[in-house]
Structure 1
Amino acid sequence: MPIMRLTRLRRPFPLLLLGLLLNCAASADDTFIIGVDTHLMNKNTSPAKALQLLQAAGVDSVRDDAYWSSAEPRRGLMKIEPSWRTYLDQTQEHQLRPLLVLGYGNPFYDNYAKPRKPIVRDAYGNYVSFVTRQLSDNVDFYEIWNEWDKENPVNPAFAKDYSVMVEEASKRIRANQRPMVILAGAVTSQGMDLGFADRLVESGILNYVDGLSLHPYVHCRSDERNTPENWIAWLRRINEDLKDKSKNKTAVPLYLTEMGWPSNEGRCGGNEKIQAAFLARSFFLAQTVPNIKGMWWNGLLNDGPDNTDPEQNFGLLNQDLSIKQAYLTLKAISPTLHEFRYDVEKSREIDSQYLLRFARGSDQIMVAWTAGYPRSIKIDATSVLGGNVHYIDTREPQKGLVDSGIPWICNEGRCSAQVPIDDFPKIITLGTRPALFALP
């Protein structure tokens, strides 16, 4: 093994440099996408302040709706709303990559009917062509329809009609010179459980789009799935099912374009602290499934003032743009999500303890929490460290990286420490591994 490593290091410098550049490009392409559903593009108020807050939090992408009924307000008359232009201009200014949903029906075509009939499907295709052509310089992702399965997740013909529409719409989008990521599905939790997502993959939909989008909400599930840990266990099973249905049994690229936990009082919710803890845990757990390419939190703002209604309390911010703890937590964890890569070999999930290891080159960290009672765990450093353990506690995200006051205890070149963990992940600095053993 040492001889093989030395031989590889003797490659000509230009080839070595090319390899490094290719590795960097691959890493950039593999960067996990942190997204947020904004629901701002169809409003006449300026989105600038809200989008500025998202940029400050390290968000990459924003998802919103390009309504067919807005783009075609009269039969055969196409237009782009001024508010769309304003919104998209602001996303570029704040370095946010837009994802637009193409759908929701039009009153002039069977009264908002889904495009199942050829005449409606052709009209939908004309709208898709117009919008994507007009906005080709401003949009990075398109999602074909939203939650088609919600009406009927079990009928194979219903899934087949959607697949036909996706094939036609994707060809129209691909006609644009600028490459765009095309997603399809937007499958609800019920559709995932009842086989709608399976039927889409079996139909060959991935021959036309770049990924399958899912909306895996579980906050109101009564089967004990409504924690991040049970959520990811369920998603892993869904992921394996989709892989089995796919061509050549390969992993399906998954985009969680809507996901979140509400902060309402009572049914299906928790307080703002629980929402923030669940946000951090779900974002980190999503990275443990390599083919999950990103997750879009729904949504940016609370939708209303009723603190007992789950649907009104998903926001990272309150309606007046005041900050909730979930926003601060996302801001604290986004650098780790962007810069570090999950190390499956060194990660552990033991009972209710989650000890996830991540690496950035030779830099090593552990993200640790428990879904049970608070406890103390032993952690090992990856190099000899003096002084105290440093970590980011997502319970107090505004403090950033702090000195815990807990000393590293080192014997014979190995260092360890006892660190308390609870339901909020701690991002613990483990030091630097020798370069020879660092992850690429």
Structure 2
Amino acid sequence: MTALGARGCWNLVRLFSLALIGVTVSACQTTSPVSRVPIGMTVHVRDADTANLKRQFDLMAEMKVTWVRVDINWSSIEAGQSQLNWDYPDAVFEQAGAHGMKVMAVLAFSPGWANASTTIPWAPTSHARPDDPASFANFAHVAAQRYAAKGVGAWEIWNEPNTRKFWRPNADAGQYGDLFRAATDAIRKVDSRATVLIGGLAPLPDEAGAGIAPTEYLEQLYASGTAQLADGVAVHPYTFPDLPLDSHRQPVGAFGDLPALHAVMERHGDGRKKVWVTEFGAPTGTGPTAVSEKDQTLTLVQARQQVARWEWAGPLLYYELVDGGTDPSDVEKNFGVLREDLSPKPAADALMESESQWWW
């Protein structure tokens, strides 16, 4: 598509988005004035070389990205005990620093040697929680020593712990609370000003035993005294294949339930703390839950406009920057706003537009 054609197509998308939001936003809108909300991207290095990674960051700068979210995956960094490889996060942090972007580090997962009693045959070993929270805390301490002075603005402890997929064999707020408290204490011994977040809570799939609803899970964390120690709560309120303001069709814990999650925080005296949207997006392609490139664009724009209306929400970090592959039928590989060759999808073009052209 020519540059003029792409811009003309985006203008039509923008007008459609504004019309749709005008009809549906009343259910979510607060009385607070519209304000800008910082945006970020999840970055996966994969096989990118230095030039490719620099290009990714250059493109993020054009999209006005100010936050970068990167995995500090214990299972890959210390696959062999006492044999640490920091190449992945080092490469991302170097580019983030060079581009003046803040870093959110996601501390998660455990190597096989640290989770022998928590693994189960049908689950990826890397997703297992560690046998001993103290071992995870030790890794968190080492990571904080390495990166606290290199631009880490926030630490997200674990990924979607309220789901069975990422907390084996079943979601357990008590077990997660033990891990969170240990890791938080370890990080703050290195950096007393660190921002530490409850790991991104996810919507529940429509299947028995999938996990615990975010509001209920957070209530349990308050009951144990865990949530009070956090500086905020991270969420991953995906809605695809539906748009974020189509609240009547969303799963439990999705975008439309964010006010209810913040209400839990308010009831416990934490209303001043933010709900950080640390993953949000939609996959393109031909997969069963994929969306069109137009709807991916609408998803990102609608979410940003609505989060800006919630004074208690933000930043908003999209998932993710670059597609993980070229197979259009694989949903997990098509969340990027950039294709694998780094060519922009319409969603990336929209973020590069002057905000005054699509903000209302």
Shorter chain as denominator, the TM-score bin is: 0.7 to 0.9
Shift in alpha-carbon separation, 1:230–1:240, aligned structure 2, 3 A: farther
Look up the SS of the partner of 1:303 in the other structure: coil
Higher share of residues assigned strand: 1
Q: How is 1:11-50 mapped onto 2 (pairs within 5 angstroms)?
A: 32-40=37-45, 43=47, 45-46=49-50, 47-50=53-56
Shift in alpha-carbon separation, 1:324–1:91, aligned structure 2, 3 A: same
Question: Distance between the aligned counterparts of 1:249 and 1:298, measured in 2?
Answer: 27
What corresponds to 2:164 in structure 1? 151
Is 2:149 the counterpart of 1:134? Answer: no
User: Residues 144 and 182 of structure 1 are in contact (CA less than 8 Å); yes or no, is this contact kept in structure 2?
Assistant: yes
What corresponds to 1:186 in structure 2? 200
User: Residues 141 and 183 of structure 1 are in contact (CA less than 8 Å); yes or no, is this contact kept in structure 2?
Assistant: yes
Cα distance, 1:78 vs. partner?
A: 5.1
Higher share of residues assigned helix: 2
What corresponds to 1:103 in structure 2? 108
Question: Distance between the aligned counterparts of 1:287 and 1:192, measured in 2?
Answer: 24
TM-superposition CA deviations, 1:119-172 (whole Å, max 9, x none): x21111111111110112112211111112221889998101111211111011
TM-superposition CA deviations, 1:159-193 (whole Å, max 9, x none): 01111211111011011246322112211111435
Question: Distance between the aligned counterparts of 2:85 and 2:169, measured in 1?
Answer: 35
Cα distance, 1:80 vs. partner?
A: 4.4
Cα distance, 1:262 vs. partner?
A: 1.8
Cα distance, 1:211 vs. partner?
A: 0.7
Cα distance, 1:249 vs. partner?
A: 6.6
Structure 1: gaps (5+ residues): 1-29, 221-225, 337-391, 393-425, 429-440
* Counterpart residue identity of residue 304, structure 2: F
Look up the SS of the partner of 1:267 in the other structure: coil
Residues paired across the two proteins, number: 298
- Give TM-score, length-normalised by structure 2: 0.75
Residue among 81, 87, 100 paired with 2:86: 81
Question: Distance between the aligned counterparts of 1:103 and 1:235, measured in 2?
Answer: 23
What corresponds to 2:67 in structure 1? 61
Please report the RMSD computed on the Cα atoms of aligned residues, expressed in angstroms: 2.7
* Counterpart residue identity of residue 347, structure 2: A
What corresponds to 1:114 in structure 2? 129
User: Residues 183 and 213 of structure 1 are in contact (CA less than 8 Å); yes or no, is this contact kept in structure 2?
Assistant: yes
User: Residues 142 and 183 of structure 1 are in contact (CA less than 8 Å); yes or no, is this contact kept in structure 2?
Assistant: yes
What corresponds to 2:359 in structure 1? 427
What corresponds to 2:136 in structure 1? 124
Cα distance, 1:289 vs. partner?
A: 1.7
Structure with max Cα Rg:
1
Cα distance, 1:66 vs. partner?
A: 0.9
Structure 2: gaps (5+ residues): 1-34, 117-124, 205-211, 248-254
Question: Distance between the aligned counterparts of 2:171 and 2:316, measured in 1?
Answer: 29
* Counterpart residue identity of residue 329, structure 1: A
Question: Distance between the aligned counterparts of 2:83 and 2:139, measured in 1?
Answer: 7
TM-superposition CA deviations, 1:362-397 (whole Å, max 9, x none): xxxxxxxxxxxxxxxxxxxxxxxxxxxxxx2xxxxx
Question: Distance between the aligned counterparts of 2:175 and 2:94, measured in 1?
Answer: 35
User: Residues 297 and 347 of structure 2 are in contact (CA less than 8 Å); yes or no, is this contact kept in structure 1?
Assistant: yes
User: Residues 192 and 238 of structure 1 are in contact (CA less than 8 Å); yes or no, is this contact kept in structure 2?
Assistant: no
Question: Distance between the aligned counterparts of 1:242 and 1:121, measured in 2?
Answer: 25
Question: Distance between the aligned counterparts of 2:162 and 2:338, measured in 1?
Answer: 29
Residue among 276, 283, 291 paired with 1:270: 291
Shift in alpha-carbon separation, 1:83–1:157, aligned structure 2, 3 A: closer
Cα distance, 1:313 vs. partner?
A: 1.7
Counting aligned pairs with the same residue, the percent is: 22
Larger RCO of the pair (alpha carbons < 8 Å, separation 6+) = 2
Cα distance, 1:281 vs. partner?
A: 1.0
